[in-house]
Amino acid sequence: MRTSVKLTTTVLATGALALSLAACGSGSTSGSASGSAADANKPLIVAASPTPHAQILDFIAKNLAPKVGLKLQVQVVTDYVTPNLAVQDGSADADYFQHLPYLQDFNKSHGTDLVSVEAVHLEPLGLYSNKVKSAKALADGATIAVPNDATNEGRALKLLADNGLITLKPDAGITATPDDIASNPKHLKFQEIDAAQLPRTLSDVDAAVINGNYALDAHLSPTKDALLLEKAQGNPYANILAVKAGNQNDPRVKKLAELLHSPQVKQYIEQTFGGAVIPAF
């Protein structure tokens, strides 16, 4: 799809989405993975959100990948659309930024055929505010900003429902919207905002439900600053390494998947993020 190739090129040229390429190794950086032996020595290009995904990959690139002969290049992307389009059109070999429900919804809405390779970590979704110190202190009619993508909006509303701020209709699924709210005792109002922009809304709304990676980017501590925080137990929203269908057996992808589940990476996650990012393996 040349449209997405041009979009990626434009983004790289203008910096509009703050893409940067951290090259770790040498060799060709074009083309998609075919899974063939001929590709084994080419760099594996992985598109990733800055925090914590790119940080984890950078740790692997510097400390673990050279030992197994993996050349890893990390392409930092700050939105939730470009990475999947890049993997689909072959300008990236894999991406690491999303959970499985988001990937499944993206495939359905964009006609892509991406698949999960491994679940790596969970970033608990949290409710944050610059105006109140607890969720109970939210005033009647308070405005809450929530992610505007289908799965994360439903996830945000479930967080509020699990903590008694609203109730959802019995048939509300993972793609619930404010239309699926059954009761709203505080008459809360909702603003649907791009997930990456949510931290910037904290001065304009009463509270915002923010994804863990964007909270970390904004120097918010999920374990200290969140008024409400998702529970890890039984959570389906672990972030995954994803590739285009058919590329799961690319030897480079297999090497990266093994490293992502290594004891060294588990220790790195636990020591670096202090509970804001939780290993899912």
Q: How many CB atoms lie within 10 A of CB 189?
A: 14
Instruction: Give the model's pLDDT for residue 1.
Output: 34
Separation CA 265–CA 263 (nearest Å): 6
Alpha-carbon dihedral 179, 184, 189, 195, rounded to 10 degrees: -60
Q: Does residue 200 carry a pLDDT above 70?
A: yes
Stronger pLDDT, 233 or 107, i.e. the higher one: 107
Q: Does residue 7 carry a pLDDT above 50?
A: no
Q: Amino acid letter at 189?
A: K
Separation CA 53–CA 33 (nearest Å): 20
Confidence band (pLDDT; 50, 70, 90) for 122?
very high
Question: Is it true that 2-124+237-279 and 126-229 share their CATH fold?
Answer: yes
Q: Which H/E stretch holds residue 257?
A: helix 251-260
Instruction: Give the model's pLDDT for residue 255.
Output: 98
Q: Amino acid letter at 132?
A: V
Two tokens, residue 74? 């990390």
Q: Does residue 22 carry a pLDDT above 60?
A: no
Pairing, β 167-168 against β 181-183: antiparallel
Q: Where are the domains of the chain?
A: 2-124+237-279, 126-229
| CATH code for the domain defined by 126-229 | 3.40.190.10
Q: How many CB atoms lie within 10 A of CB 36?
A: 10
Domain 2-124+237-279 sits in CATH 3.90.1150.10? no
Q: Please, what is the end-to-end C-alpha distance for the chain in angstroms?
A: 35
Two tokens, residue 93? 């070999």
Q: Does residue 4 carry a pLDDT above 70?
A: no
Q: For 131-163, write each residue's pLDDT tens digit.
A: 999 999 999 999 999 999 988 999 999 999 999
* % of the chain residues with pLDDT over 90: 77
Two tokens, residue 226? 């969140």
